[in-house]
Amino acid sequence: MAEDPLKPAPARVFLAIPLHGIFHQEIENLLGPLRREIPGVRWVESRQVHLTLHFFGIVSPQEIELIHLSSKKIASLFSPLKVSLGQIGGFPDLERPEIVWLGVREPTGQLLSLQKAIQGEVRTLGFKPEARPFQPHVTIGRVQRKSRDLKPLLAKAGYAWTTTEKIADHFALYQSHYLPEGVRYEILKTYPFSKKA
């Protein structure tokens, strides 16, 4: 029997802070030279840049609604965050990277508190919490040629790079779409930080 096209389908979702809106020009200024100087890396589009807070994987429409309600509650407990982007790094490292990332800094500890609050809700909802320690970062590139030391090339491109602090005033529920040209991320819902200072 064919599936009902009107029935909501499961989706691959995650919670993240969108950073393209507040750091668009800075990220473009960084990625332009990297795209020219370092081939063999699929550099992201600046509008796709985000700081992941929790990845759920594929969930049902009913579970998405529970995530939505929990996220609204969490957002009401936090004030907007002052964040900056920092030095470039790699996973597992820049000598043999698979992922190239930018570190995210938030000096007060509220970003870590936000991530911990989300992990608490994740556990309460019956999802598996993140096992790895939280390392705030945004992915800016996926290496297509493995076992390649990027340190010399990044040094040439000037990778000791930071931004000024800017205000992140919400986080969002994203859906991942896997397309032939790569992954695209769609914001489904946003959650403004609404705690009064």
Catalytic residues: 50, 137
Q: Please classify residue 66 by burial: count the beta carbons closer than 10 Å to its beta carbon, then call 0-12 exposed, 13-18 middle and 19+ buried.
A: middle
Give the contacts of 125 (CB within 8 A, at least 6 positions apart). Answer: 63, 66, 67, 70
10 to 56, 63, 78: CA distances (angstroms): 12, 9, 29
The Cα 21–Cα 99 span in angstroms is 22
Judge if the upstream peptide bond of residue 92 is cis by omega within 30 degrees of 0.
Answer: yes
